[in-house]
Structures are given as C-alpha cells and as structure tokens.
Structure 1
Amino acid sequence: MDDAYLPEVYQQFLGRFPEVAEAQGALAQAVRERSPFDPRTDRLLRLAMAIGAQSEGAVRSNVRKALRHGATLDEVRAVALGAITTCGFPTAIAAMGWIEEVAEAQ
C-alpha cells in the first residue's frame, strides 16, 4: 500500500512502534485467512461493526477498503442506512457523513 494513502497518524504509529504494527498486521492477516467471506463482504461486515462502534477511523478505513474490494458506494451507504434501526439515527448519520467524505476524496 502506498504510504501517501495511509493517514498521517497511522504513519506516525508505524514509525514509532514498528514491532507493534507488525504484530497487529500478523493478527489481522490471521483473522482474514480464517474468514469464510470474500473480501468485499468481509469489508462490508467490518464497516457495519465500525459504524456500531462509532469509530470514525475504522469507518473511513473500511469504506476505502470495501470500495477497493468491489463494493459499490450504494452498498456502503446501505450499511449506514441499516444502522439507523440497530445503532440509532445519530450514529448512522455520523457514519453517512464519514462515508461521503471518503467518497468525495476518492
């Protein structure tokens, strides 16, 4: 992945704590290898969890990754819409805003 694509805070983390970043990367890889889902579906599921956790950084990251893995913007938006009845309207609307900002930057 191109370093210019990574958020500045994550680039700083990689520089300061390379051994932690490497261990986290290995764990993420092990989890991905155990997933029965294709990468597109996996990213949409992770997006849903990020929205539920109200994690702006994770939402933004998973939007970018879902789009790279073939999800459409309509599918990504549908995940946020689905959060209205599960996570609440304010959570879903915040996520929709983050999704739109990522989409505009693409």
Structure 2
Amino acid sequence: SGVTDFTLLHEVEIAEDLYYQDIFREISKKYLPCLLNPSAADPPPPDTFHGKAAGFIENNLPPANYDFYLCGERQMTHDVTLLVDQHFAGSYVFKEVFY
C-alpha cells in the first residue's frame, strides 16, 4: 500500500549535505540529488542534477497532472509552487516549510 512510483528530488547547496542518500535510494527507485553549488573538491554522486529542483522539474517533466510533495526551505517551496501553477495546471502541491 502507499505510493510506490515517485521521483524524489533532494536539493542541497553542496554534496556533503546529501544526508540519508541510502534511505532515499531504498524508498524511491528514482532518487535524484539536485546540487546548487557543485565543487571539484567535493565530487557529487553519480546521476546528480546540477541546479535547482525547480529547474529539473521545468526541463524534464512532460505536461501532465502531478501530485507534488515539497518539504524544505521556503524559497524552494515557493519557486516550485509558482512553476507548478504556471506549467502543470490541474496538479496539486502539498508542502511543509522547515526554514
């Protein structure tokens, strides 16, 4: 039971902030770290998107109705909500803002 087919985007500033990767990879076959400031000194894991989660959504999701569950920083949840309103009419956004 529960949701089984979902993409989990994990947006952080630097690779060392990618906590819980093992757990996230276990619960989602489509886990994608989104790195805002990649560094050669701190190489990102494979299959990492360089940029904001909103950028990945805008450039990679085909037009359709989706349920978006957002958890995290106020600006990120705001940016994704605006994007959904503009490009994914009929989709739902559920969010928890933590800071």
Instruction: Specify if TM > 0.5.
Output: no
- TM-score range for the pair, normalised by the shorter chain length: 0.3 to 0.5
| Structure with more strand by fraction | 2
Mark the structure with the bigger radius of gyration: 1
Using structure 2 for the length normalisation, give the TM-score. 0.39
